[in-house]
Amino acid sequence: MAQEGGPPFPLSLFMSLLMLSSLCDCHPRSPGSIRSMAAAGHVANHTARKVSTIAAEVAGYADVAKQIIDLAVFGAAQNRSHSRLADFTDTIGNRVSGSHNLEMAIKYMYNAMAQDGLDVHLEPVKIPHWVRGKESAEMIAPRVKSLAILGLGSSVGTPPEGIEAEVLVVQSFEELKSRAREATARIVVFNQPFVSYGETVAYRAYGASEAAKVGAVATLIRSITPFSINSPHTGLQDYQDGVKRIPSACITVEDAELMWRMAQRGQRIVVRLSMGAKTLPDADSFNTVAEITGWQHPEQVVLMSGHLDSWDVGQGAMDDGGGAMISWEALSLIKDLGLRPRRTLRTVLWTAEEQGGVGAQQYYNRHKVNMSNFDLVMESDLGTFAPVALQFTGSDAAQKVMAEVVKLLAPINTTKLEAHGEGTDISPWMQAGVPGASLHVADSRYFWFHHSEGDTMSVQDPRDMNLCSALWAVVAYVVADLQDMLPR
């Protein structure tokens, strides 16, 4: 396995590996024949079979499910996914898109999964390459105070001499618009309250462009987190076309609230900002793919996944090293038990998810011709804390099948099926009608550490990862081995 500081994995060696690997699904067919198979076969079969028959078929996997659970939670594989994650993150560290560390991570995982006895190959993609550079911020009025910042992904840098400007503090986009005349030549500080990640992240994503529209020279955005110990959280921001690009960074909750209080008192606030961020040409990278080939329908696929890249802070253990590791561990558990399902079990470790699902979108573009052969796509990217339920998106008929499958998880008390599978990397498949599943975990602390220096192995619990691995493996194996594919 790769050692930190070792020689880089040569691109020529990557390409040689690719030449030896299949970059397409096992038995490609013409799109027409695939569609006719789907229409005449899979859907018709499920229509003809009663729910009770399917329930009985699924119930027949109870013993196998218990074997998987016992191996993962109590047996020889106990704590293995946690140990693998620790070895990986301690060796490689964080893995931002386009970096040497990400190259080393792909090399590491390719070798590790191959040594585990799995069929592994790499699929080439082009990914963004943004570099943070040196950065600093300091409040110089009404008093001197260093500000902890993290520049946002894709942000431009400041001029070499930096930017020194008065600050305008607002709590919403609406307030910014109402005070637009005050924003000219100012650094806009957004002190928006945390409502939920899905709602509040809009300030990180669009704050720079909204501020630039009213003449601001830079933005400092309150980190998107419900809890803080003066640590900034990074993430991707998205410039709008036709709007001037200004530097953008996140600051801590504490500093955003400090400047808000000062502003409320009518105090003049001045900040000096320096950011060396720049975007380089797109880099070569790979999605890393490992498989157990199905014995009856090798062309049909149940896909598990997590992303291998992270931001350039912390260790990327929670986001998303854990998801990547349980997706590998699930294959290991099934292999260790000598199981081989009807359909192919495939684990994909995505590259450049943090840049907007870049690697996954290129995978989808490459494989969508065989879409009707994708039975279920699964993604773990909201932590591997204690599992609570399986989230699922699919037809009513497919939901009935999955409701039976999760009953097999009674030994670990995760028999709940919830609506709406989610995940940046599997969303193109779900939007196209492929059933999708994700892991719902006890994630109340997830955004405490998300995209920050706090995302380290200290966040991870080995027993939680055992349970997540068991759930992932049972669901994937049973769906891959059922007589029929999930109905669309």
State the catalytic residue, choosing from 353, 354, 379, 404: 353
Instruction: Scan for tokens 């253990």, then name that residue.
Output: 317
- Least Cα distance to 317 among 160, 94, 100, 161 occurs for 94
- Residue 72 main-chain phi, psi, to 5 deg: -75, -40
CA atoms within 13 A on the CB side of 87: 13
Those residues with Cβ within 8 angstroms of residue 292's Cβ, 6 or more apart along the chain or in another chain: 118, 119, 331, 334, 335, 340, 341, 344, 345
The angle subtended at Cα 67 by Cα 113 and Cα 114, nearest 5°, is 10
Residue pair 103/5 in contact by the 8 Å Cβ criterion: no
CB atoms within 10 A of CB 254: 16
353 is catalytic: yes
β-bridge pairing 343-350 and 417-419:
unpaired
Phi-psi region of 235 (alpha: psi -120 to 50; beta: other; left: phi over 0): left
Instruction: Show Cβ contacts of residue 58 under 8 Å, excluding neighbours closer than 6 positions.
Output: 401, 404, 405, 407, 408, 478, 482
At residue 439's C-alpha, the angle toward residues 66 and 232, to 5°, is 135
Q: How far apart are the C-alpha atoms of 188 and 216, rounded to whole Å? A: 6
Max intra-chain CA distance, the chain? 75
Question: Cβ(149)–Cβ(276) under 8 Å?
Answer: no
Of 168, 256, 162, 241, give the one whose Cα is nearest residue 209.
Answer: 241
Alpha carbons 327 and 423: distance in angstroms, whole number:
14
Which residues have a catalytic role annotated?
Answer: 353
